[in-house]
Amino acid sequence: MHEDRYAAAGGAASRSRRWDSGPQRLEAALSEAHDQERRIRRRRLLGGGVAAVAAAGGLTTWGLASHSDPSSAAAPSASDRPVRGGTLVYLDAESSRSTQPQAAGTWQDSAYLENITDRLVWKDPETGEIQPYIAESWHVSEDATTYTFRIREGVTYSDHTPLDAASVKRNLEWQARGDERNGIQPSTEWPRPTTITSEGSTVTVRLRAPYNDFLDVLSGWGASLVADRTINAPLETQQQITGIIGSGPFVVESEKYGERIVFARRTGYDWAPPGLRQQGEALLERVEVHAVTDDTTRLGTLRSGEADAIRYIQPADERNLADEDGFQVLAAQGIGATNQWHLRQSIPALQDVRVRRALQVGIDRKTLLSDLYTDNWSVARSVVTEDTVGFVDQEERLAFDPDTANGLLDEAGYDERDDEGYRTKDGERLSLVTVIDVYDATAKPLYQLVQSQLKELGVQLILRDADYSQVSEAYAAPDVAMVRSGWPYPAPWATLRTIWETSRTDDFAIEGGDPALDELLADQATAKGERARASALADLQEYVVANAYTIPLLKDSQIFAAKNDVNGLSWSAEARPLFYSTWLDRP
Amino acid sequence: MLARTRYVLTRILQALLVVAVTYVLTYWVLFALPGDPVKNRLDNPQNPVPPDQARAIIEYYNLDEPAITQFAITVGRLLHGDLGYSLGTGRAVSDLVLQGLGSTVVLALVALVVAAVIAAVVGTLAVFAPWEAVRRLARLVPGLSLATPSFLIGLFLLQIFSYQLGWVSALKTEGASTVVLPAITLGISVSPAITQVLIQGLTEASGRPFVKVLRSRGLSGGAIVGRHVFRNGSIPALTLLALTIADLIAGSVIVESVFNRAGLGYVTEQAVRSQDGPIVLAVVLLASSLYTLINLATDLLYPVIDPRIGIAEPPGRPARRTPAPVSARAAADAPEPASASASASASASASAEGA
C-alpha cells in the first residue's frame, strides 16, 4: 500500500510456529493454494529455502531462513551463491517524514530505522518467535515481572561508542519515559512504571505487573537502540535519518531531502541475529533509496532498468508486470493486526448489536479481494493475522451471509424502506458516515465497493473525502461511524489495547466504557503461561468479533517489484524490507 | 533622477507591505484551518498517543499557547532570521527553502528561456510566416499547450527520452542534462499566455503605420521585424513574462513531482499537504517577495526597451503620484499612441535601436 501511516508496537513472548502446530494445520494450509504467501511457505516447509512470494521468477530469501527450521540449511546451488558488493537502487513510494523511533511509524521511516539499527531481541518473521539479537540471552522471573538481559560483547554504534549494558539501560529508560525537554514521547506500548538497572553486562527491567507483550515491544523499530549522541539531540535532529546513529548493518552515508538517502554497508558489522543465515557484514555495498511518489514514474523507472526494486505498485500493474520477463512481484504480509473497520458506538444506530452484526456479515470480503486486488492479498479471519500469537479463526462469524444480515436489520426495527431503497426505523434512514483512508492509494475503490455492498442491504454508507492535512479532525468528527485501522505491529495486542481501551484511545466509543472489554485486554497482558494467555486471547477475539465491535476486512500486503537479479530481499516481522542479506546476481 | 529614486523607494515600500500583509493573512488562514502535522501525528488512528503523553509534545511546540502568543513567537523568531523548523519532519525551514530554491531557480530560469523561445518561434510563425496554413497552425499552439496537463507532457518526455532511449536519468537531479526535460515540461506549460500575447502584440505592431514608413525607407522585411516590430510588440509579452513567475512556481509543484526533484514546488506541496505552518509561511514569504521584486524589475525595464516610456517628471515639479509604468503600459498597449504621431513613433522606435 501506498501510505504514510503510523503503525506501532505490541505481541507475544514466545510462540510456536504456525505451520508447525500440527498436521491438520498443514493440511488446511495446503488446501488454500490460491494464497500466494501460503504457497511459498508450503514450499519452505517442503524443504526449500524459498520464503518470499515471487509472481514471476524465483526469489531466494536468505534473510528469512530461521535457525528453527533446519530444512532451510540446505546448501545453495552454485547460481544461488550470494555475490558481495554493488549498489541496490530502491524506489520508495513516499519520502522520509520522521525517524524519531518512538514516534516513527510510516512504512518508509520504520524500514529505514530497522536497516540502520539493532534491537535487543529479534522476532523471526516466519514464526513470530522471539530470538536473541543484541541480548544474547535473557531470563524472565517466575512471577513474569523481572527481565534480565545479557548484552552481547563487542557491539559498537557507527560513531564507535560501545553498545553495552549501560547504553541499553539508557535506551530502555528513554523508550519508557521519553524526554520532555527534547520533545520526545515515550513509547506508547511500554508498560509503566518500570525500573531499569544495569550491572556488568546485564540489564534488568522490573515491571510492576506481568506484561506478556514486553519482548515483542522490544523487537520493534520503536525499540531501536541508538547512540548517546542521538538520545541527547533535540527532536528535530532525531526526526532526520541522518540524526539516527545506530549499530545496524547499514549506516546513512548521505541524504538529500525529498530525493534520496544513501545507506552504506557498516564495515565490521558482526552482530546479526544468530537466527539469520546471513552473518557478518551486509552483502550490498550501498542501498540508494529514492523517494518517487508518482506511481507511473516509479514503475517506469524500474522497467527502464534504472531502478532495481520499488515499493508499492497498483494492483493492475501488478498483474501486467508479473507477466513480463525480467521482473518479480513480491508481496510481504506482516504479523499483526488485520485491516479492519472499528465501529463507533457513539452513533445511536451502532449501539444495537444486531445492526453491527448485520454489517459484519453483510460485507462480502471475497468479492472485495477478487474485484479490486490480486492473489497477493487475502481476507482477514480475525482481528489479527494467522501468525500472530493467540490467533483464533473467526471465519465462521465473518462469512458473508446476506440473509442473516437482512434478518438482523429487520429485527432491529429497520424494516421499512424509503424511496431510495434504504432501510428506515421510525422514519429515520439507516445511514452511516466513514472517512476514506487518505494514506492508501487503493482505498477509494475499496470504500466504494463496500458502499455498494451495504446499499444492497439497504444501509447507506456516506463516504467522506478527507484532506491529508486534516485527517485527525476528519476521523474525530462526531458523526463518523467507522474508522479504518489495523496493520502489522511489532506488539499487536499491546497496540490494539492502546487503541481499544476505554482509558486510552477508546476507538469503539462505548458510552460509559466497556469494563468487560477492558478486563479482557488487561487479562491477556498479565495471563501467566502460554496456555492461559492463549485462552485469554481467544476470549478477547471472540468477544470483539461476536459483539461486532469491529469488522475485519483484509490482510494488508506490502507489494514490491524487483528485477530478477535481485536476490535475498527479506522482510522484518512487520513486513518492512531489510537489505542485510540482499545481493545482486550480476557481474 | 530624483523622481526615479522616489519611485523606486515607493515601490519597494509597497512591495514590503504586500509581503507583510500576505504573511499575516497566510498565518491567519493556517491558524483558522483545522489540523496540523503535530496533532495529526498524535491522534493518528494507527498509532494514537494517549492524551497524557501527548501533552508534553504539544507544549514542546507551543501549540497550547493562544494564537496571538504563537504569532508573536513566530514573528519574533522571524525578525532574528529564524524561520523555525518543520512541524512534520523537524527540518530547519531555512535549509528546506534554500535547497528547494537552488533547484527550482535553475529549473524556472531554463523553463523561462524555453517558454520565451517557444513564444518567439510560434509568435513569429503565426504572424510573419509567408504561408497561411503555417500561420493558422502556429496560432493553434498556445491553446493546445494550455489544454495539455503538464504531468502528461512530463510523463511523455520521460517515456521517450528516459525509459525508451535512456538519454537522461529519471532519478538523478544533478548536472545540466537532468534539468532539460523538466524545464521543457514547465516551459511548455507556462508558454501559452506569453505566446498568445506576443502574437497579438506582433499583429498590432506590424499593422501600424510606422512599418509602412520604414518599408518606404527601404528597410528589409527582416530588419523591420527584428529591430522594430518585435521591439514594439514585445512590451505586453514582457509584462506577462514577469507575471509568469507565479505560474512557474505553481507549475513546479507538478513538474518536480513527476521528475522527482525536491525543489521549492515539492517542498510546498509536501508542506501544504500536511499543513506544515512554518514551511508554508516561509514559502509564502519567499514567493511574495520574489513576485513583487520581479514585477518591480520589469517596470524598471520598460524604459530600456522602449525609450518612449519613462518615469514622468514634469519640469519644475517632481513626479508625485504618477504610477508611470501604468501609463507606459497603456501607451504600449494602445493601438495608436495618443501622444505620438505615427512618424514620431516610427522614428522613436527606429532610434531606439541605437540606444
Of A12 and A188, the structure prediction assigns the larger pLDDT to A188
Helix B2-32 × helix B277-305 angle, to 10°: 160
Least confident of A248-262, A331-345, B266-280: B266-280
Interchain CB distance below 8 Å, B260 and A290:
yes
Least confident of A553-557, A578-582, B7-11, B218-222: B218-222
| pLDDT band of B354, cuts 50, 70, 90 | very low
Q: CA-CA distances (angstroms) from residue B135 to A42, A287, A307, B121, B198?
A: 69, 53, 44, 11, 14
Mean pLDDT of A317-343: 92
Whether pLDDT at A349 is above 80: yes
Q: Are A424 and A414 in contact (CB under 8 A)?
A: yes
Q: Residue A494 has which C-alpha cell?
A: 499491546
Residues of A in contact with B88 (CB under 8 A): 97-98
Interchain CB distance below 8 Å, B91 and A236:
yes
Whether pLDDT at A129 is above 90: yes
Query: A504 in contact with B at a CB cutoff of 8 Å?
Result: yes
Q: How far is B73 from chain A (nearest CA, A)?
A: 18
Of B216 and A45, the structure prediction assigns the larger pLDDT to B216
Q: Are B30 and B281 in contact (CB under 8 A)?
A: yes
Sign, CA dihedral B73-B78-B82-B83, equals positive
Residues of B in contact with A498 (CB under 8 A): 48, 50
How much is the mean pLDDT over chain A? 86
Using DSSP's 3-state secondary structure scheme, residue A223 falls into: helix
Nearest residue to A216 via CA among A69, A390, A3: A390
A126: CB partners within 8 A, 6+ apart: A17, A41, A44, A51, A64, A66, A69
Determine the pLDDT at residue B21: 93
Could you give the ipTM of this predicted complex?
A: 0.74
Mean pLDDT of B22-26: 92
B177: CB partners within 8 A, 6+ apart: B167, B168, B169
Q: Are A573 and A488 in contact (CB under 8 A)?
A: yes
Interchain CB distance below 8 Å, B43 and A5:
no
Q: How far is A396 from chain B (nearest CA, A)?
A: 27
Q: How many residues does chain A have?
A: 587
Name the residue in chain B with its Cα closest to that of A438: B273
Interchain CB distance below 8 Å, A185 and B54:
yes
Q: How far is B288 from chain A (nearest CA, A)?
A: 23
Per-position b or e across A545-558, b if 16+ CB within 10 A of its CB: bebbbbbbbbbbbb
Q: How far is B308 from chain A (nearest CA, A)?
A: 49
**How far is C-alpha B212 from the geometric centre of its chain's CA atoms?**
36
DSSP lists the bridge partners of residue A196 as A205
Those of residues 90-119 in A touching chain B at CB distance below 8 A are 91, 95-98, 100, 103, 105
Whether pLDDT at A156 is above 50: yes
In this structure, what DSSP letter does residue A508 have?
T
DSSP B87-131: TTT--BHHHHHHHHHHHHHHHHHHHHHHHHHHHHHHHHHHHH-SS
Mean pLDDT of B301-312: 69
Q: Residue A409 has which C-alpha cell?
A: 436489520
Least confident of A212-216, A236-240, A369-373, B8-12: B8-12
d(CA B109, CA A151) in angstroms, rounded, equals 57
Interchain CB distance below 8 Å, B257 and A293:
yes
Q: Are A52 and A581 in contact (CB under 8 A)?
A: no
What phi and psi values does residue A365 have, to the nearest 5 degrees?
-60, -40
- Residue among A188, A467, A469 whose CB faces B47 most closely: A188
Name the residue in chain B with its Cα closest to that of A303: B163
Mean pLDDT of B31-49: 73
Query: pTM for the complete prediction?
Result: 0.81
Determine the pLDDT at residue B221: 73
Q: Residue B272 has which C-alpha cell?
A: 501544504
Tens of pLDDT, residue by residue over B135-171, are 899 888 988 888 888 889 999 999 899 888 888 888 8
Mean pLDDT of A351-369: 96
Using DSSP's 3-state secondary structure scheme, residue B32 falls into: helix
| pLDDT band of A20, cuts 50, 70, 90 | very low
Those of residues 277-316 in A touching chain B at CB distance below 8 A are 290-294, 296-297, 300-301, 303-307
d(CA A256, CA A306) in angstroms, rounded, equals 19
Q: How far is B2 from chain A (nearest CA, A)?
A: 47
When scoring A297, A440, A502 by the number of chain B Cβ atoms within 10 A, the one with the most, hence best to mutate, is: A297
Name the residue in chain B with its Cα closest to that of A109: B89
Upper half-sphere CA count for residue A369 (Cβ side, 13 Å) = 18
Q: Where are the beta strands (DSSP E) in A135-278?
A: 135-140, 146-151, 194-199, 202-207, 250-256, 260-265
Grid cell 515600500 is found at B13
Query: A476 in contact with B at a CB cutoff of 8 Å?
Result: yes
CA angle (A175, A177, A183) in 5-degree steps: 90
Grid cell 498565518 is found at B27
| pLDDT band of A15, cuts 50, 70, 90 | very low
Of A205 and A61, the structure prediction assigns the larger pLDDT to A205
DSSP B238-296: HHHHHHHHHHHHHHHHHHHHHTT--SHHHHHHHHHHTT-HHHHHHHHHHHHHHHHHHHH
d(CA A286, CA A262) in angstroms, rounded, equals 7
Name the residue in chain B with its Cα closest to that of A9: B47
Whether pLDDT at B282 is above 70: yes
Mean pLDDT of A366-379: 92
Q: Residue B100 has which C-alpha cell?
A: 528547494
